[in-house]
Amino acid sequence: MKKIAVCGKGGVGKSFMVYSLTKAFQKKGFNVCVVDTDESNLGLPEMLGIKETPLAFMEYLGGKKSVQQNMMKRFSSGDKEVKISVIEDESFPLAEIGNQYIADHGSIKFITIGKINMPMEGCACPMGAISREFLEKVVLQENEIMIVDTEAGVEHFGRGVEKGIDTVIAISEPTRESLSVAKRIFDLASVMDKKRYLIINKVPYGQIEDKAMGIARAMDLPVSGIVHYDMDVFNSAIEGTEITSKTAILEVEEILNKLI
């Protein structure tokens, strides 16, 4: 487990899980680099206690317009989107990225690939292409772990964002629809030959846990762990503050201890 993508249907708790896994790895003595590849949501730095969001990695590469033009050139010479390269280096360490583009918060680093900022600015293909290439080319030190927050759904698999990832953690709510998306994620990750784990999140105490396990079993989905619904997590989201929950975060830590 070195480069981990956290995936799932919208709102299932991917960003919460990125936060909790970061804390758990940090406790084990790892330096964690969190990569935000979700072009819509803005709350992850806040959740991690990062006061100033760094400039997007897209800006490091010259900005969206320049990346888009570069991609168009490659398209017209016949390259497929999943093969297009806009990062010149074959590989690079995190230390090579300028300070404005990477937030340093103790043993946590934070990088955001790029957001949609303006109406009519065009699609998110450049973000997908950069995410794929960044994750493939970045070289981590021995005690570094990379945790990637992904956009809801599975489009990023189509864009090959998971190519450089070794582990996919699917997050699901205890509902049939949410577990169906997790199943799709498992199937896609399996084709890409990635390690895959499923965590069911926001599970109320009581019978629902058994029901969710039953649905997962019927879908042939192995469940690595369950995280219960925790009002403290929700309260932190209401306040827009770093998560203060003890129980849900401890549950994630226990799951991780079983996995590594």
* Residues of the shown chain interacting with ligand ATP in the complex, contacts defined by CB under 6 A: 8, 10-16, 38, 41, 152, 201-202, 227, 229-230, 233-234, 237, 248
Task: Order across the sheet with 31-36: list the strands.
Answer: 103-105, 108-112, 31-36, 144-149, 3-8, 167-172, 195-203, 225-228
Q: How many residues does the chain have?
A: 260
Count of residues interacting with Mg ion (CB under 5 A) = 3
Phi, psi of 243 (to 5 degrees): -65, 130
Tokens encoding 197 = 């784990």
Q: At closest approach, how far in Å is the CB of 209 from ligand ATP? A: 13
Q: At closest approach, how far in Å is the CB of 153 from ligand ATP? A: 8
Q: At closest approach, how far in Å is the CB of 247 from ligand ATP? A: 9
Chain centroid offset of residue 32 CA = 13
Question: Which residues in the 150-169 window bind Mg ion by CB under 5 A?
Answer: none
- Write the burial class of residue 22 (CB in 10 Å: 0-12 exposed, 13-18 middle, 19+ buried): buried
Write each residue from 28 to 57 as x if it is in contact with Mg ion (CB under 5 A), else as -, in one continuous string.
-------------x----------------
Q: At closest approach, how far in Å is the CB of 167 from ligand ATP? A: 18
Q: What does 159 bind: ligand ATP, Mg ion, none (CB cut-off 5 to 8 Å by kind)?
A: none
Q: What does 5 bind: Mg ion, ligand ATP, none (CB cut-off 5 to 8 Å by kind)?
A: none
Instruction: Rank residues 93 and 204 by Cβ distance to ligand ATP and give the closer one.
Output: 204
**Of 5, 8, 13, 15, the one binding Mg ion by CB under 5 A:** 15
Q: Which residues contact 239 (CB under 8 A, 6 or more apart)?
A: none
Number of H-type helices and E-type strands within the chain? 10, 10
**Angle between helix 176-191 and 207-218 (nearest 10):** 40
Instruction: Rank residues 43 and 62 by Cβ distance to ligand ATP and give the closer one.
Output: 43
Q: At closest approach, how far in Å is the CB of 29 from Mg ion? A: 26
